[in-house]
């Protein structure tokens, strides 16, 4: 199946590892170009080298107000266009609501929520259907199953991811008339560095997690990346405003 990704250009934040890198890899494999970012310059260089000529990168924090401009300029300079984005941000510190400091809440809000809003605001005018492009662009937020059901001791993530989930619905109304699609992707337990860090010190964590997943295993980042690439592609041209679970069946809610 041709996803229609050839020569399309996507910004992928958090694109040097985990779910972001897996998505960048899947996009490139199907003919797209990508701009990957993270805070670590060395990781950016390594990811770009691995992805080849179809990639360029920017070392920038999502919380930086200049990040949207820098990412867009990199896309236009390297590839002459931008067609969409995958917004992936590392998970905030664990903790319960009453024990998390104001500073952690502020930092997490800046990077996860406000950073996402800034990027969408900057990209939206560039993604509209035009004479040069027969259809509009697509933006996908990497959220979490916590957008539908809270995860223990991950209160900051629970609050911010759910808020962004509602923003997906809001933005689909706002940007739909210009033929720009907005989606939320809800990964469950996927074998990433974040998952390994949360399991640390609890030898039974993996077994408990697998027992709660109908497929009885954690996901592979590549499984997430392939689905993200499909949903960002023109092949999914009538999918917007949706929160799509990629979790092995773990979310029990409708």
DSSP letter for each residue of 185-245: EEE-SB-SHHHHHHHTT-TTHHHHHHHTSTTSSPBPHHHHHHHHHHHHSGGGTT--S-EEE
Any domain includes 2: no
Any domain includes 126: yes
Instruction: Decide if pLDDT at 223 tops 80.
Output: yes
Compute the half-sphere exposure of residue 185: CA atoms within 13 Å on the CB side of its CA. Answer: 29
pLDDT (0 to 100) of residue 175: 97
Domain limits for position 113: 9-246
Q: Chain-centre distance of CA 196, in angstroms?
A: 19
Q: How confident is the model at residue 142 (pLDDT cuts 50, 70, 90)?
A: very high
* pLDDT (mean) for 38-61: 97
Q: Chain-centre distance of CA 68, in angstroms?
A: 15
* pLDDT (mean) for 235-251: 96
Any domain includes 254: no
pLDDT (0 to 100) of residue 81: 95
d(CA 188, CA 170): 23
**Of 68-82, 121-135, 171-185, 225-239, which gets the smallest average pLDDT?**
121-135
Instruction: Decide if pLDDT at 14 tops 80.
Output: yes
Any domain includes 35: yes
Instruction: Give the model confidence (pLDDT) of 90-115 as tens digits.
Output: 878 889 999 999 999 999 999 999 99
* pLDDT (mean) for 70-75: 98
Instruction: Give the model confidence (pLDDT) of 188-213 as tens digits.
Output: 889 888 888 888 878 888 989 899 99
pLDDT (0 to 100) of residue 91: 79
Q: How confident is the model at residue 58 (pLDDT cuts 50, 70, 90)?
A: very high
d(CA 97, CA 118): 26
d(CA 125, CA 247): 32
Instruction: Give the model confidence (pLDDT) of 80-94 as tens digits.
Output: 999 999 999 987 888
Instruction: Decide if pLDDT at 59 tops 80.
Output: yes
d(CA 195, CA 188): 10
What CATH number is attached to the domain comprising 92?
A: 3.40.50.720
Q: Please indicate whether residue 32 or residue 154 has the higher confidence score (pLDDT).
A: 32
What total number of domains does the chain contain? 1
Any domain includes 4: no
Cβ-count burial of 235 within 10 angstroms (0-12 exposed, 13-18 middle, 19+ buried)?
middle
d(CA 212, CA 230): 27
């Amino acid at each position: 199946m041709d996803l229609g990704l050839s020569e399309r250009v996507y910004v992928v934040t958090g694109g040097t590892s985990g779910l972001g890198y897996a998505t960048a890899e899947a996009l490139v494999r199907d003919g797209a170009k990508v701009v990957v970012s993270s805070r670590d310059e060395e990781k950016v260089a390594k990811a770009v080298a691995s992805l080849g000529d179809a990639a360029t990168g920017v070392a920038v924090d999502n919380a930086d107000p200049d990040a949207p401009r820098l990412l867009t300029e990199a896309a236009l300079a390297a590839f002459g266009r931008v067609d969409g984005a995958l917004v992936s941000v590392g998970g905030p510190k664990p903790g319960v609501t009453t024990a998390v400091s104001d500073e952690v809440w502020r930092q997490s809000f800046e990077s996860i929520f406000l950073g996402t809003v800034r990027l969408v605001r900057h990209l939206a005018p560039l993604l509209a259907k035009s004479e040069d492009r027969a259809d509009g662009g697509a933006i996908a937020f990497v959220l979490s199953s916590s957008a539908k059901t809270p995860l223990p001791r991950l209160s900051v993530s629970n609050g911010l991811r759910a808020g962004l989930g509602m923003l997906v619905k809001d933005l689909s109304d706002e940007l739909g008339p210009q033929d720009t699609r907005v989606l939320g992707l809800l990964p469950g337990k996927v074998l990433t560095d974040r998952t390994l860090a949360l399991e640390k010190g609890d030898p039974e964590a993996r077994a408990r997690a697998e027992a709660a997943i109908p497929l009885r295993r954690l996901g592979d980042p590549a499984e997430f990346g392939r689905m993200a690439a499909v949903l960002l592609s023109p092949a999914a041209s009538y999918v917007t405003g949706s929160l799509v679970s990629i979790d092995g069946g773990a979310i029990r809610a409708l």
